[in-house]
Amino acid sequence: MCHRAGFNEVDDDDVEDLLESHAEPLSNDELIELDKSSQEAEKEGDKDEPVRGLGIKTLRLCLDDIEKALETLKECDPNPARSSKVAHDVEKCQDLSRNL
């Protein structure tokens, strides 16, 4: 089975040794080391994944900035039909965000 899985250098004795080693109880030192590495992994996981959230204040600021950008677009675009359509489509999408 090892050879089918791509472990060509593994023989039956290696598999038996591995299985036997898992049947033996861990020493105190091994348990302490395992606990330390587990705690370190948890700490690293906490640092790597900051809590993210979209608060009401941030959402409001984003929506206000979008509205300002749309006003600028309407004022500066030489094609008012195009800028009105863009503004209308964006405002429809904004309605979804406002309902969050």
Q: How far is CA 3 from CA 7, 15, 85, in A?
A: 5, 12, 63
pTM here is: 0.44
User: Which residue from 64, 54, 72 is spatially nearest to 94, judged by alpha carbons?
Assistant: 64
Domain locations in the chain?
56-98
> DSSP secondary-structure letter at 41?
H
- pLDDT by residue for the chain (100 residues), tens digit each? 555 556 667 777 777 777 777 677 778 888 888 888 888 877 776 665 667 788 888 888 988 999 999 999 999 999 999 999 999 898 888 777 666 6
